[in-house]
């Protein structure tokens, strides 16, 4: 396994001079060197062939002992020095100070076919940033992250990627419900891949410490390697850099809204500077359409990170990044203009996204009202978001008599739906029918275009939980079944129709299926 190793990050950014792997405050450094913890009986459970290929690792090489040892932290690739990044962050709206890679260790960066990938292990042991934790991860959270990162990629959502999922062979103590009843679980490690794991918090920590020198070093590095099209670092390009981060962040969140994904913990240390979905913790997929739903037990009371609030939180986080960049820009007006533009762009992009989900390709003055009425209807009774929008493509613009029939399997309690609710739906379909007459697409063309933005298959929490339960018993077949299914989320896949179904009733309140903790 011969990789084209680069070390731009570690050679161009200041390193922590203290080489001890002890918990501490790290100052005037972007990262600290830290080696993964060796494990007792590592076992690779699953590999993403596409990601291996991106790194120029052959299928044969992924089966080697060397590969297994690298992706489980038991061996260090020659001439590389693993490290953990220093960053801070606002958590649930409050400045939390230094956070950093508490359970992630960056192994190296690989250059292949003009792409630069950072390879990281999550759950490979403690670092100077682990605070009171052990830096390890468990099988359930690792299965969820491994599958979801790849699923999001195939949905067309900007994301970090997964290379491998492994068992460490060691048991890890976790309190899954934070109720004072910890138990041992199987330890696991995910190898994560991204062009960069830099977060808003990497810049915030320097601004908070008034370390403008290192803030500038890191921003210059970021522009040079990830925004090189902007040109050489300058005050003007610091502003352009912030503008592009803002645009990428909005693009990502619009896609989250489109597919019904709820991140669950949008702290600034979980916001990628590249606008990638990063840190799959207590995420979830909307089952019943509900703007107020959050999957995070920690967020249950205030619902800061609920589905409907994600675009606002994206903006709030960008305000914190603007504050962090201000010391090297020293102008408020251009930053404010970018943040104001985010609001304008969100209104426009959100409307266009919903129009595409409804198969509307021209603009009409009443479209916003049509969409708002639809969103109200979707919350009259529990209605599955994914199934509703997928089935809506079957609506006939010539004959509307099948309207309620095509969406009936999206309702959770069809028998309990009142006549009043049916009237509301029929009124909406009458308006939708009239609106479709203004479009030139045939039923077939519209269906094809709608099915390209409304996925049939998403990684519902109960699906992950089934795979986790099987994996706990030593059966990893379901991990692979879901991995293959989610490679083609927009395809019909008749053989996999069983996964195009509402959340089963047993999963409604089951741990791991409805609410998840931050350790998930």
What pLDDT is stored for residue 520 in this prediction? Answer: 47
pLDDT confidence bin for 506, thresholds 50/70/90: confident
Range list of H helices, 358-493: 367-378, 385-392, 403-407, 419-436, 443-451, 461-472, 477-485
Known catalytic membership, residue 269: yes
The answer to whether residue 458 scores a pLDDT higher than 70 is yes
Q: State whether residue 124 is helix, strand or coil.
A: strand
- Domain encompassing residue 261: 212-356
Question: Are 161 and 193 within 8 A, CB to CB?
Answer: yes
pLDDT confidence bin for 509, thresholds 50/70/90: confident
The answer to whether residue 403 scores a pLDDT higher than 80 is yes
| Structural domain contains residue 455 | no
Examine the domain organization and report whether 419 and 465 are in the same domain: no
The answer to whether residue 252 scores a pLDDT higher than 60 is yes
Arithmetic mean of pLDDT, 224-228: 97
What pLDDT is stored for residue 512 in this prediction? Answer: 75
Arithmetic mean of pLDDT, 421-432: 95
The answer to whether residue 514 scores a pLDDT higher than 80 is no
Give the model confidence (pLDDT) of 319-347 as tens digits.
999 999 999 999 999 999 999 999 999 99
Single residue among 168, 200, 232 that ends a domain in this structure = 200
| Cα gap 391→405, rounded to integer Å | 10
Examine the domain organization and report whether 189 and 92 are in the same domain: yes
DSSP, residue by residue, 177-202: TSSS--EEEEEEEEEEEES---BHHH
Residues making up the chain, counted from first to last: 520
What pLDDT is stored for residue 416 in this prediction? Answer: 81
The answer to whether residue 460 scores a pLDDT higher than 90 is yes
Question: Are 218 and 206 within 8 A, CB to CB?
Answer: yes
Tokens 């339960």: give the residue. 469
Examine the domain organization and report whether 62 and 14 are in the same domain: yes
> Which residue is catalytic, options 269, 279, 290, 384?
269
| Cα gap 273→200, rounded to integer Å | 6
| Cα gap 251→349, rounded to integer Å | 8
| Structural domain contains residue 371 | yes
Examine the domain organization and report whether 185 and 40 are in the same domain: yes
Cα distances (angstroms) measured from residue 276 to each of 112, 194, 195, 264, 310: 20, 9, 10, 15, 14
Q: What is the largest CA-CA distance in the chain?
A: 72
| Structural domain contains residue 222 | yes
The pTM is what? 0.96
Tell me the average pLDDT of the chain: 95
Burial of residue 142 (CB within 10 Å: 0-12, 13-18, 19+) is buried
Q: Between β-strands 183-194 and 161-174, what pairing exists: parallel, antiparallel or unpaired?
A: antiparallel
Q: Between β-strands 161-174 and 43-47, what pairing exists: parallel, antiparallel or unpaired?
A: antiparallel
Arithmetic mean of pLDDT, 289-313: 90
Examine the domain organization and report whether 189 and 177 are in the same domain: yes
Burial of residue 84 (CB within 10 Å: 0-12, 13-18, 19+) is buried
Examine the domain organization and report whether 191 and 221 are in the same domain: no
Single residue among 200, 229, 247 that ends a domain in this structure = 200
| Cα gap 1→57, rounded to integer Å | 7
The helix (H) or strand (E) run that includes residue 69 is helix 65-71
Cα distances (angstroms) measured from residue 191 to each of 141, 210, 334, 456: 13, 34, 39, 28
Single residue among 308, 334, 356 that ends a domain in this structure = 356
Arithmetic mean of pLDDT, 1-10: 95
Strand spans (E) along 70-213: 83-85, 88-91, 94-98, 104-112, 115-122, 137-138, 161-174, 183-194
Give the model confidence (pLDDT) of 139-180 as tens digits.
999 999 999 999 999 999 999 999 999 999 999 988 877 778
| Structural domain contains residue 500 | yes
The helix (H) or strand (E) run that includes residue 327 is helix 310-329
Examine the domain organization and report whether 140 and 167 are in the same domain: yes
pLDDT confidence bin for 25, thresholds 50/70/90: very high
| Structural domain contains residue 318 | yes
| Cα gap 164→190, rounded to integer Å | 6
| Cα gap 200→66, rounded to integer Å | 34
The answer to whether residue 497 scores a pLDDT higher than 80 is yes
Burial of residue 404 (CB within 10 Å: 0-12, 13-18, 19+) is middle
Question: Are 67 and 51 within 8 A, CB to CB?
Answer: no
| Cα gap 354→410, rounded to integer Å | 18
What pLDDT is stored for residue 178 in this prediction? Answer: 73
Give the model confidence (pLDDT) of 72-96 as tens digits.
999 999 999 999 999 999 999 999 9
Examine the domain organization and report whether 487 and 372 are in the same domain: no
| Cα gap 281→141, rounded to integer Å | 7
| Cα gap 266→236, rounded to integer Å | 28
Give the model confidence (pLDDT) of 254-278 as tens digits.
999 999 999 999 999 999 999 999 9
| Structural domain contains residue 520 | no
Examine the domain organization and report whether 365 and 496 are in the same domain: no
The helix (H) or strand (E) run that includes residue 61 is helix 59-62
Examine the domain organization and report whether 343 and 475 are in the same domain: no
What pLDDT is stored for residue 378 in this prediction? Answer: 95
**Structural domains counted in the chain:** 4
pLDDT confidence bin for 516, thresholds 50/70/90: low
Give the model confidence (pLDDT) of 179-209 as tens digits.
788 889 999 999 999 999 999 999 999 999 9
| Cα gap 442→425, rounded to integer Å | 23
Arithmetic mean of pLDDT, 131-139: 92
| Structural domain contains residue 450 | no
What pLDDT is stored for residue 517 in this prediction? Answer: 62
The answer to whether residue 457 scores a pLDDT higher than 70 is yes
The answer to whether residue 495 scores a pLDDT higher than 60 is yes
Question: Are 515 and 460 within 8 A, CB to CB?
Answer: no
For residue 32, give both structure tokens. 């600290």
| Structural domain contains residue 58 | yes
Examine the domain organization and report whether 192 and 57 are in the same domain: yes
DSSP state letter for 17: S
| Cα gap 110→117, rounded to integer Å | 5
Examine the domain organization and report whether 58 and 135 are in the same domain: yes
Give the model confidence (pLDDT) of 351-401 as tens digits.
999 999 999 999 999 999 999 999 999 999 999 999 999 999 999 999 888
């Amino acid at each position: 396994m011969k990789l084209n190793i680069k070390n731009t990050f570690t050679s161009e950014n200041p390193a922590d001079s203290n080489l001890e792997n002890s918990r501490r405050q790290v100052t005037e450094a972007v990262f600290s060197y830290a080696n993964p913890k060796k494990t007792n009986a590592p076992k690779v459970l699953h590999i993403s062939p596409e990601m291996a290929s991106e790194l120029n690792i052959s299928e044969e090489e992924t089966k080697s002992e060397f590969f297994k040892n690298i992706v489980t932290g038991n061996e260090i690739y020659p001439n590389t020095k693993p490290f953990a990044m220093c960053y801070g962050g606002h958590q649930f709206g409050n400045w939390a100070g230094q956070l950093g890679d508490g359970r992630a260790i960056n192994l190296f960066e690989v250059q292949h076919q003009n792409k630069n990938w950072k390879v990281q292990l999550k759950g490979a042991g403690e670092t100077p940033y682990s605070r009171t934790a052990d830096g390890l991860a468990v099988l359930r959270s690792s299965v969820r992250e491994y599958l979801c990162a790849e699923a999001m990629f195939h949905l067309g959502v900007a994301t970090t990627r997964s290379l491998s999922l492994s068992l460490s062979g060691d048991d890890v103590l976790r309190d899954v419900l934070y109720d004072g009843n910890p138990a041992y679980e199987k330890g696991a490690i995910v190898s994560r891949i991204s062009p960069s794991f830099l977060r808003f918090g990497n810049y915030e920590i320097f601004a908070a410490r008034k370390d403008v020198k290192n803030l500038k070093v890191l921003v210059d590095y970021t522009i040079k390697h990830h925004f090189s099209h902007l040109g050489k670092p300058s005050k003007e390009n610091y502003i352009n850099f912030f503008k592009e981060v803002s645009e990428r962040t909005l693009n990502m969140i619009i896609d989250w809204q489109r597919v019904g994904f709820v991140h669950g913990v949008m702290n600034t240390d979980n916001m990628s500077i590249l606008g990638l979905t990063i840190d799959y913790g207590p995420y979830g997929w909307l089952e019943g359409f509900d703007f107020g739903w959050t999957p995070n037990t920690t967020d249950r009371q205030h619902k800061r990170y609920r589905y409907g609030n994600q675009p606002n939180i994206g903006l709030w986080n960008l305000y914190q990044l603007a504050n962090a960049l201000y010391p090297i820009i020293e102008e408020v007006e251009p930053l404010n203009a970018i943040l104001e533009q985010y609001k304008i762009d969100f209104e426009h992009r959100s409307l266009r996204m919903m129009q595409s989900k409804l198969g509307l390709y021209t603009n009409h003055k009443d479209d916003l009202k049509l969409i708002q009425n639809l969103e109200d209807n979707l919350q009259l009774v529990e209605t599955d978001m994914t199934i509703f929008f997928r089935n809506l493509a079957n609506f006939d613009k010539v004959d509307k008599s099948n309207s309620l029939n095509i969406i009936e399997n999206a309702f959770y309690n069809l028998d309990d739906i009142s006549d009043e609710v049916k009237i509301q739906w029929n009124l909406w379909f009458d308006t939708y029918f009239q609106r479709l007459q203004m479009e030139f697409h045939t039923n077939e063309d519209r269906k094809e275009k709608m099915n390209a933005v409304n996925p049939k298959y998403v990684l519902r929490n109960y699906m992950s939980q089934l795979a986790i339960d099987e994996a706990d018993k030593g059966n990893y077949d379901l991990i692979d079944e879901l991995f293959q299914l989610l490679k083609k989320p927009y395809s019909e896949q008749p053989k996999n129709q069983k996964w195009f179904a509402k959340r089963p009733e047993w999963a409604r309140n089951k741990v791991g299926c409805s609410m998840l903790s931050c350790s998930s």
